[in-house]
Structure 1
Amino acid sequence: MTYSTEQYAPLSLDRPDPFNHIATEEQLTDPIQGRQGCHMAAAEWRFLGWMEREGFEYDYYSETQLHFDVVPLDEYDVLVISVHPEYWSVKMVEQLKKWVHEDGGKLIYLGGNGLDCEAEFLDDHRIIYQNTKWSHTGQNYAESGEPQESRMHRRHESQAGLLGQVFTWPGAMTAAPYEVINPSHWCFSDTGLGRGDLFGTESLHQRVPGGASGHETDKISEYSPANTELLAKGLNPDDGGAHVIYYQTESGGEVFSVGSICWNASIVVDENVSRITANVLKRFSI
């Protein structure tokens, strides 16, 4: 399997997945070791543990359940997707976009490289990733010559129209703190942070240590909603820092995105990452 392959071989959703494993003795504040744990279950578990620590109640679904209409979005005000939700079906993207843009749903995206590649479901237990011979380091174009931002863009549309941002290669496999751009935004309430201050300096991420902005990072693009606000930006090399963004929809929907796989690795050990996330959850839950 290589990134230059047009279409990955079918994968079974029933296959063993030893990387998505939390050891019985593991603690929330333990460093996240290894190549896979930093962007899979171990990082997701930190967020779940943080919510329980902070007193937030939640229901938990797999992404696959969204495709198979198991998630009753109309019964919820807030949906959180986190860490590394890279492979989504077009149906999933369209359902979520409708919920936010038309039904007034509130989306919190605490991850990086999200919704970047179409996952095609062959049936209820097999899936194909439509990689589309994508270059992760060079510019990609449609047959018409139009620049394309992602594999999802090539097959459907840019995810920036929903998430407010899209993955780009600069910043990949680096990590850094965020710098505050708009300290007057309500997400920074009770943090004491001012313009130019840093947050997300603490992280459990051992594969790419250095801060809450990292591993893979998303940024605002020309396909982001016109009213997208840039609130903070990671200080990763090559202008590759993740963007913290916020926008509202005419239906009353709201989107808050952090654009970084490393965010969850900071949430239980970095006071400001914790406070910002709590501010958003509380605001969206009103």
Structure 2
Amino acid sequence: MFFGSCSSSHADILYQQDFSEVNPGTGLPTGWSLGPPIHADYFSAAQDFNVYAAAAPSIRVDVPLRTMQYRIESPWVFLPSMNQDYTVEFSLKILQPDSPFKVMIVYRDAEGQWIDWDTLVSCVGEQMESFRRFRVSFNPHAGPDRGRCWIAFGLPYTKVLREGCFYLDDFIVYEGSGGEEVEFYLVPNTVQAGENVDIHISSALEEATIEVWREEEFPVRVISPRVVNHIAKEVVPDEVWRNGCDWPVSTTISIESEWPSGIYTVKINNRDGTAWDNFVVRGKGGEGKVLVILPTDTGHAYNSWGGGSFYSTPQRPEISFERPQGHGYVGVYHVPIHLIRWLHRNGIGYAVANDSDLHFHPELLYEYPGIIFSWHSEYWTGEMRRNVQAYIGAGGSVLNFSGNTCWWQTRLVESDDPVEPGPCRRLICYKYTAAEDPYQQINPSRVTTHWDEPPLNNPPTRLLGLSWRYGGLVNSSTGSVCPCDYDWLDGYGGYQAFNTDHWVFEGTGVSDEETIGREYAIVGYEVDGAPIEWVDGRPFVLPEGGTPSGFKVLGHSPCLNQYHPDEPGVALMGILDEGTSFIFNGGTTGWCWGLQNDAVIQKITLNLIGHLGARIQTPSPSEILVYPNPSTHNFYIKLFGRSVPSRLHIYTVEGRRIRSMAVPEGECRPGATLWWDGCNDAGYRLPSGTYYLRGERGGAIPLVNLR
């Protein structure tokens, strides 16, 4: 960490600014600007003469409540080649306790055509007591020709839900690599109290400082800063996006037994910068009525560290969990953190889990009458979906505060997977190249494509009522592929409310056709919907999309549907109310933005949690669930109870045993799932009819209907 004025001894300086002279109108030097260029008062910038280093002034930027994006923008810096190393240095002080903060760079060619963008610095929830000096190296990797770059300081693509400010001083860009960033990853990213989390660090500087915070209304430090020594700059393996880093363990966090379930942020500082990531201490029951499930697989899907992701060019169908987070996608700190803050402010008991827990630990669901998805729960394994389906079938409720939910099927595979072995655990999704998925021939029900497309043909509307197929995007009229051109107020807004006599709206004072959630722009960026028809000015869901009968529309908004761009898409909020349980679908990635200070959205959320019943009764020791049932093939058999059998037997109605299946070693636990393909032990398909199955120790005898 450096204090003092910037280094100006570089002979190869490309741009330098000490902020000693500014325009009185803008508060910024010539060539600098406020952004984005939109029609709202965002914030103010001015010189600040607080003593820093040689008493030179810095720039102070005040950020008001509820802004959706704020930044100050450097002038274009011309680069002699778009394929060499450069370094940017600056001094920064951030007082933004409730939001991420980014320094981003946009590359263009010499003629001004957009090339790419990247994140140089990403912080979260910072309250810096003094200025920190950052030194970051970058390389456009865009060929030998001349080009230009543009650097922005602020918080793009999110919302500010607590007032704050930041200071900037002594900005310099020069040729050559001068920064020694610190990078790390955590294994595992979900644990129980009493377990350990290993930290794998890479840095050319041999020493770094680590601290750990628990995310509450205000972060609580649980591990004070401590020094980690003997760090080395680690090698990045080939195809690291698939193979993982395989770096040695630098230090270990021991999870104290009294640490409650929640989100824990790890911050590591070295002389040149800060890196951060998080892990989950998962629940164990008794914390409250709701289990918050974080969309961690979606975060990994977008993580392009090492050059590959589900969104890179070319798209990589396999991505490793064992690599640093690039933080172009800001994960839980973008939206879910505001749900956590709100739960704490309102004294609502809760526990936290992530996508891996939903995949591997379905028994955890039954400790809570309600589960919450938030923000962007886009990537689901088949196990995740089946576990949620079984939970709903057992009387559990779902509060979906997410958009683009359950859009892609994925597979989570271990290093010793018999079909797709590799050096580490990976998330697999072939997406638009699903024809190349090996499971097309092995087991089509596990092919990684859209849930509503062949060979799956199982739209998310069947599970949660809505789908991105009928929704789409809110705020997309600019048509730009460059984030610096986006206008994040364009099209953001609320829902027009309907059926306001439903208990969801109790105490809100909202009437039909009134707009809700607009002040905090809860509708966007990605929204889900369903086919609808309008009858007497009210929307009703049509059955053709797969939504269960009884699903009631509570809110509607237009959107841009990418599959039918000439027709308005449909963003919906709705509920399937079964009386003792329910499925509420907010249908938008931005729902939790309204939990800061939108009285209606807060009251609706309180009503939903308040309507949850008592703890779900875990199925009895002898209970076996089978789904879908009836089916033409592919039955999933889920085992519950305190004494899970090690084998299952399938019988004809006459009592003749025709199939035996072993529960895999190590999987004899509540929630274990087997798959039956409708064949006997010899591999021959059985005729249509009714069969029953039971465990080796007897117990329940559920009927299985094979069509």
What RMSD in Å do the two structures reach over aligned CA positions?
A: 2.6
Corresponding residue of 1:10:
318
Return closer, same or farther for 1:5/1:120 CA change in 2, 3 Å cut-off: farther
Alignment of 1:167-182 (within 5 A): 167-168=468-469, 171-174=472-475, 175-182=492-499
Return closer, same or farther for 1:92/1:171 CA change in 2, 3 Å cut-off: closer
Work out whether residues 177 and 234 of structure 1, in 8 Å CA contact, stay in contact via their aligned partners in 2: yes
Q: Separation in 2 of the partners of 1:285 and 1:265?
A: 26
Corresponding residue of 2:593:
265
Q: Separation in 2 of the partners of 1:58 and 1:255?
A: 18
Q: Separation in 2 of the partners of 1:108 and 1:6?
A: 35
SS at match of 1:59: strand
Corresponding residue of 1:233:
556
Q: Give the Å deviation of 1:2.
A: 7.2
For structure 1, the residue ranges without an aligned partner over 5 or more in a row are 20-34, 135-149, 204-210
1:36 aligns to 2:329 (yes or no): yes
Return closer, same or farther for 1:58/1:214 CA change in 2, 3 Å cut-off: same
TM-score by length of 1: 0.78
* Greater RCO structure (CA 8 Å; 6+ sep): 1
Alignment of 1:109-120 (within 5 A): 109-120=400-411
SS at match of 1:127: strand
1:162 to 448, 463, 480: 463
1:192 to 509, 517, 535: 509
Q: Give the Å deviation of 1:70.
A: 6.0
Q: Give the Å deviation of 1:169.
A: 6.4
Work out whether residues 5 and 133 of structure 1, in 8 Å CA contact, stay in contact via their aligned partners in 2: no
2:348 to 56, 61, 65: 56
Q: Give the Å deviation of 1:220.
A: 2.5
Work out whether residues 83 and 262 of structure 1, in 8 Å CA contact, stay in contact via their aligned partners in 2: yes
Q: Give the Å deviation of 1:232.
A: 1.0
Work out whether residues 471 and 530 of structure 2, in 8 Å CA contact, stay in contact via their aligned partners in 1: no
Work out whether residues 555 and 573 of structure 2, in 8 Å CA contact, stay in contact via their aligned partners in 1: yes
Corresponding residue of 1:207:
none
Return closer, same or farther for 1:18/1:116 CA change in 2, 3 Å cut-off: same
Number of residues of Structure 1 aligned to a counterpart in Structure 2: 246
Work out whether residues 104 and 253 of structure 1, in 8 Å CA contact, stay in contact via their aligned partners in 2: yes
SS at match of 1:80: strand
Work out whether residues 5 and 132 of structure 1, in 8 Å CA contact, stay in contact via their aligned partners in 2: no
Corresponding residue of 1:130:
430
Q: Give the Å deviation of 1:269.
A: 2.7
1:243 to 560, 563, 572: 572
Corresponding residue of 1:151:
450
Q: Per-residue displacement from partner, 1:182-222 (whole Å, max 9, x unpaired)?
A: 1101111111000111110122xxxxxxx211111101242
Q: Give the Å deviation of 1:6.
A: 11
Work out whether residues 217 and 240 of structure 1, in 8 Å CA contact, stay in contact via their aligned partners in 2: no
Q: Per-residue displacement from partner, 1:145-169 (whole Å, max 9, x unpaired)?
A: xxxxx80122531111111110136
Structure with greater strand share of residues: 2
SS at match of 1:60: strand
Work out whether residues 595 and 601 of structure 2, in 8 Å CA contact, stay in contact via their aligned partners in 1: yes
Answer with 91-100 or 122-131: which moved more: 122-131
Work out whether residues 232 and 244 of structure 1, in 8 Å CA contact, stay in contact via their aligned partners in 2: yes
1:224 to 541, 547, 563: 547
Work out whether residues 172 and 215 of structure 1, in 8 Å CA contact, stay in contact via their aligned partners in 2: yes
Answer with 91-100 or 8-17: which moved more: 8-17
1:91 aligns to 2:383 (yes or no): yes
Q: Percent identity?
A: 23
Work out whether residues 77 and 284 of structure 1, in 8 Å CA contact, stay in contact via their aligned partners in 2: yes
Structure (1 or 2) with the larger CA radius of gyration: 2
